[in-house]
Chains A and B, each alone.
Chain A
Amino acid sequence: MPVYREQAIVLGHHDLSGADRIIIFLTEGRGKVKAVAKGARRPKSRFAGCVEPLSLVEMGYFTQPQRTTLARLNHSELIEAFSSLRDDYDRLLRGFYVVELADVLLKEGVAVPACFEHVAGALRALDEGGDGDLVRWGCAWRLLAALGYKPNLSACVVCKGEKTLETFNPGLGGCLCPGCRTPDRDGLPLSAGAIDHLRLLWELSWQDVGHMKPSGSIRAEVGRAVELYLNQHLDRRLKSAELLVDA
């Protein structure tokens, strides 16, 4: 019966019958894990307050030989609650977006170590007061890159030329130069400034991502490009994204 003890970000939970709860969390070593926390819905449970979504927790859990996917949680200790992120509705919603994104994009039991760092980094950036939308776009952009879907922003995806790039074509996985744009092979127009900012979303530290100050038009272009590209790789629309529309 393999036992594990490692840091994890809580992505969400589902209630089971009785007082039990399934906790979904992201670890560095074993990727996304689903584990049953017995009695977690009782206020005096040893798990109470330690398995809330958007917290960094030390999890002790073991896998059960007869069950291939569902682990059992036997210990949880809160490391970081990101409490200032919880004091601001807008940033809290973006925190929910980040954990849902990770839950939807990442597969159970497949560890991509950079992903844990990206999600933890994004939550920390939100907690430190970073720009919520830039942080959530940055997180999506980095997770996709970590999963092997890094779009080409430095050369035309058709002719490989490093000339001026004008549009972003999510289907082709990168930018097109003016010469390669045709009516049936077009994309989202992007300014040079927006392409630079999209690159910075990969390169800067999380703290700097949260404090980039793009102009209104560049910000809009960056958001559109990330969301268009992300939708290509998602099976379903993120539920938390619907709340961002009218927030």
Chain B
Amino acid sequence: MTRRPQSLTTLIAYLKKLPGIGERTAERLAFWLLKAPEDDVVGLAGAIAHIKEAIRFCPECGGLTEEVPCAFCSDPKRDASVVCVVEAPDDLYAIERTGVFNGHYHVLQGVIAPLDGIGPEDLHIGPLEERCRSGRVREVILATSPTTEGEATALYLARRLEPLGVGVTRIARGVPMGGDIQYADKMTLGKAIEGRTALRKTKEDREGARDVGER
């Protein structure tokens, strides 16, 4: 029988609910918290309690934000005519970190997953469609993952958005940096050949790229 104080057991039980945290790690974290400076522990608890009330989804793009609309949607320096569509907020930050995109975003909050019964009506698509109808959007970049579900989602969106008169593009799929052609799988290599681009960009390409949001 465990002689652990109840409050410690409760903390461990909550820590175990975090992704990738098992019993042992939860125990280690709990004992670390016990020994940590009071300020750090109170600060952490406060940050956790605050996150739920402070963070909401931007009604425009579906990204995470404290203000409405979010910093991306309200930034006049960003190009509102190009919208990059991603599955989840983490994907948005991943693309932002590349530093090559300066347009607006749209977060779907998921992906079409037929085997889990998740269809288009379960995703956040309506506001994207409205934006495309408004005439402000020139290009929609579909940046869903290159998985079977991500492809299904991209195909669905292309079909739904193209009739609205916007250009729909798909992020390129190919051999990763530092990867070896010999070890690339057939599908990746095939897509890399299909999606090849000119090595020396023409003047139009460069201007097009700048239009599309190159900084």
Contacts and interface: CB of A to CB of B under 8 A. Distances in A.
A93 B148 CA distance: 10
Nearest to B155: A89
Interface string A58-102: 000000000000000000011001010011110011001101100
Pick from A43, A49, A239 the residue with the most CB of B within 10 Å: A49
A50 B185 contact: yes
A55 B148 CA distance: 10
Interface stretch (B5-13, B65-73, B114-122): B114-122
Given A17-B20, A43-B176, A89-B156, A52 B148 contact: yes
B201 interface: no
B159 A89 contact: yes
B156 A52 contact: no
B115 A100 contact: yes
A243 B19 CA distance: 30
Contacts of B117: 239-240, 242-243
A49 B185 contact: yes
Contacts of A55: 187
A93 B114 contact: yes
A88 B114 contact: no
Nearest to A24: B115
Contacts of A44: 176
A35 B48 CA distance: 37
A23 to B, nearest CB: 13
26 contacts: A12-B115, A17-B19, A17-B22, A43-B176, A44-B176, A48-B185, A52-B147, A52-B148, A53-B115, A55-B187, A77-B185, A83-B187, A88-B155, A89-B156, A89-B159, A92-B148, A92-B151, A93-B114, A97-B114, A99-B115, A100-B114, A100-B115, A240-B115, A240-B117, A243-B114, A246-B121
A88 B151 CA distance: 10
A54 B117 CA distance: 17
Nearest to B154: A89
* Secondary structure class of chain B's binding surface, majority of residues: helix
Contact of B114 (A50, A77, A96, A246): A96
A77 B112 CA distance: 26
B208 interface: no
Interface in B136-190: 146-148, 151-152, 155-156, 159, 176, 185-188, 190
A53 B148 contact: yes
Nearest to B145: A43
A100 B149 CA distance: 14
A237 to B, nearest CB: 9
Nearest to B152: A92
Cβ-closest 3 pairs across A and B: A239-B117, A240-B114, A96-B114
B176 A242 contact: no
Interface string B10-41: 00000000011010000000000000000000
